[in-house]
Chains A and B, each alone.
Chain A
Amino acid sequence: MITLTLWQMRWRLLVVALLAVGFYLLEPGFHLHGGETDLAPTVSDPRGIAFTLANLAGASMLILLSGFISGDRREGYYRTYFSHPTRPLAYYGVRWALAYALSLAAAALFLVFGQLLAWGELRVGVGAMVNPALFALVYGGLVAFFSTLLPRGDSLAALGVFVLTSAWEYALAAFAELGTQPPLSPAVRQGLSFIFPPHLALRDAFEAMIAGTSPLASLAFAAGYGLFWLALAGLLLWSREWP
């Protein structure tokens, strides 16, 4: 089944490869020239490529999983699939896990070959894979949830969540620079930070790693967030009727 699914994903994998090239060109850490000062640690520290790796892994999940449940439901492909002795939860679970493994593999290849191409040496180790592993889990969980819930547009919905979260993140940063708070009650701010994907938690984890303190709480929150949506997707898949 895995070989057959890989063959099915071949064009999507090509898109992931092209995306990786794009991310390589956009990664600021790979294009630094001497004399640049006053840079954020995510740029100046080689470990900052973890954020680009995370974006690549998350985007890979969106590409590889787009319509993976919703398309089957909408088009009626499930009717012949699951008349055979196959559990939908197991079938889609394998597809999700395969997409996750491929996304991490794409990030790992990017990590190695990106460094060798840009710097001619490996400056960052496997620790940089923590962020992509969690980001792929978070966005993979969201796509799985949207794919069980919506008839189409699951990956677009997840991308929309990413854009909103980034906007929220920038807004918070802008207010922080101005030395004020957003015009929202603390409860609403907390609520939004809790509902949106844990970009800030991953940034906190990265900064904790740079500072040499324990990032476990932030990492656990990010992992829990992704697992929550994944579990909800599984529950919906198990409980919903097929059209």
Chain B
Amino acid sequence: MIHLDQVVKEYGGWLARARKHRVPALTGVSLNVQPGTVLGIVGPNGAGKSTLIRILLGYLRPTRGSVSVGGLAPRAYAERHGVAYVPETPAIPPSWTVEYAMRVYASLAEIDEPGAQVEAALARVGLNELRGRRVAALSKGMRQRLAIAQALLGDRAVMVLDEPTNGLDPEWVAELRGIVAEWRAARDDRIALVASHDLSELERMTDRVAVLESGALREIIDLRAGAHAFPPYRIEVESTPHAADAVRACFGGAVPEHGAPLQFLVEPADAADLSRRLGELLARGVVVRAVAPLRITLEERYRGSVGPSRGGRGGRA
């Protein structure tokens, strides 16, 4: 559905080219996104996330390489089918009211009878009560919700969210997750791309995550792979006589964590195996303080991909 082949993007016009001062933003990105996928895009500041998104919307053209969305050039696709898009900084004329803005967007979306759709979209983002309020009088989070509402107009197959949690409070961050899940569930051929620095949110929202760094695609992390494998666990026990020996006896191969002699990493085969071994441990009189699954978080994998010094949440791409 979305196909990028060796996409290169350099900024700077003919004068910059003559002076060899062109700034590379993407340096040969190849990517395939199949229908039914929610793909996250992460990377440090200046990694090329926003450039990639603007190319996918057809606002920028690649310097080299090819891009297609649904078999069409990105601009042609957007003009024909539309893309549900929430920009990084929602820019909506401040003098417009919420309702007027939605009517304009509905008109651009070629919706003949927009009343019901506008109402449904505004209700979904909790702005129905503020229909008459000017955009200038909305908080940052409300403006973000209005941008989300306009993206929900029309029946689109592609959604692009650029830092969608910007300005949203925790309640609306969770709502956004629900909105994306509902949108995705309504049609099984839909694709959503989510660029964000919020790695924990991406982990909840997406299936795969493309890691960009310095304009290159470093890795695609498949968050579904291994999701069903039974993870290793960390077990912490009270300091009682022979507690450590008992853990080792019940969980063959238990490894004490460095610097924490009463915390062990264990690898049970499945939930039944874990329960049985824990039962044995309790029967030996050991007091268990904590049992927690160990999963490699997206943040850990991301840091492994781009390095600790460049990772993190600060700033924007």
Find out whether the CB atom of A76 lies under 8 angstroms from the CB atom of B89.
Answer: yes
B177 within 8 A of A: no
A123 within 8 A of B: no
B281 within 8 A of A: no
Contacts of B78 in A (CB 8 A): 82-83, 85
Min distance, Cβ A169 to any Cβ of chain B, angstroms: 36
Find out whether the CB atom of B154 lies under 8 angstroms from the CB atom of A84.
Answer: yes
Min distance, Cβ A95 to any Cβ of chain B, angstroms: 12
With A and B bound together, what is the CA distance between A84 and B78 in angstroms?
Answer: 7
- Map CB proximity to B onto A162-196 as digits: 1 under 8 Å, 0 otherwise: 00000000000000000000000000000000000
With A and B bound together, what is the CA distance between A75 and B94 in angstroms?
Answer: 11
A80 and B105 contact, Cβ closer than 8 Å, known pairs A85-B82, A242-B54, A242-B60: yes
Find out whether the CB atom of B91 lies under 8 angstroms from the CB atom of A80.
Answer: yes
With A and B bound together, what is the CA distance between A76 and B92 in angstroms?
Answer: 8
- B81 — nearest CB in chain A belongs to which residue? A85
Contacts of A81 in B (CB 8 A): 105, 108
A31 within 8 A of B: no
- Map CB proximity to A onto B30-42 as digits: 1 under 8 Å, 0 otherwise: 0000000000000
Find out whether the CB atom of B82 lies under 8 angstroms from the CB atom of A4.
Answer: no
B103 within 8 A of A: yes
With A and B bound together, what is the CA distance between A130 and B54 in angstroms?
Answer: 44
Contacts of B92 in A (CB 8 A): 77, 80
Contacts of A91 in B (CB 8 A): 108
Find out whether the CB atom of A80 lies under 8 angstroms from the CB atom of B100.
Answer: no
Find out whether the CB atom of A75 lies under 8 angstroms from the CB atom of B91.
Answer: yes
Q: Which of A56-84 contact B (CB under 8 A)?
A: 75-84
With A and B bound together, what is the CA distance between A87 and B80 in angstroms?
Answer: 9
- B146 — nearest CB in chain A belongs to which residue? A80
Find out whether the CB atom of A87 lies under 8 angstroms from the CB atom of B79.
Answer: yes
- B108 — nearest CB in chain A belongs to which residue? A84
Contacts of B89 in A (CB 8 A): 76
B85 within 8 A of A: yes
- B11 — nearest CB in chain A belongs to which residue? A241
Contacts of A75 in B (CB 8 A): 91, 93
A4 and B104 contact, Cβ closer than 8 Å, known pairs A84-B154, A85-B109, A241-B59: yes
Min distance, Cβ B58 to any Cβ of chain A, angstroms: 8
Contacts of B103 in A (CB 8 A): 4
Contacts of B151 in A (CB 8 A): 83
Find out whether the CB atom of B79 lies under 8 angstroms from the CB atom of A241.
Answer: no
A80 and B79 contact, Cβ closer than 8 Å, known pairs A7-B100, A85-B109, A241-B59: no
Contacts of B79 in A (CB 8 A): 82, 85-87
B90 within 8 A of A: yes
Find out whether the CB atom of B80 lies under 8 angstroms from the CB atom of A85.
Answer: yes
Contacts of A84 in B (CB 8 A): 82, 105, 108-110, 153-154
Min distance, Cβ A191 to any Cβ of chain B, angstroms: 26
Q: Which of A188-243 contact B (CB under 8 A)?
A: 241-242
Find out whether the CB atom of B61 lies under 8 angstroms from the CB atom of A241.
Answer: yes
Min distance, Cβ B94 to any Cβ of chain A, angstroms: 9
B57 within 8 A of A: yes
Find out whether the CB atom of A83 lies under 8 angstroms from the CB atom of B83.
Answer: yes
A1 within 8 A of B: yes
Pick the contact of B150 from A76, A78, A80 — CB < 8 Å? A80
Contacts of A241 in B (CB 8 A): 59-61
Min distance, Cβ A4 to any Cβ of chain B, angstroms: 5
Q: Which of B81-120 contact A (CB under 8 A)?
A: 81-85, 87, 89-93, 100, 103-105, 107-110
With A and B bound together, what is the CA distance between A10 and B79 in angstroms?
Answer: 28
A-B contact sample (8 more), CB < 8 A, given A79-B91, A80-B92, A86-B109: A1-B104, A76-B89, A81-B105, A82-B59, A83-B151, A84-B109, A85-B78, A86-B110
Q: Which 3 A-B pairs have the closest CB atoms?
A: A83-B85, A76-B91, A84-B108
B-side interface residues toward A, CB under 8 Å? 54, 57, 59-61, 78-85, 87, 89-93, 100, 103-105, 107-110, 147, 150-151, 153-154, 160
A-B contact pairs, 15 of them (CB 8 A): A79-B59, A79-B91, A80-B85, A80-B87, A80-B105, A80-B150, A82-B57, A82-B78, A83-B84, A83-B160, A84-B110, A84-B153, A85-B108, A86-B108, A242-B60
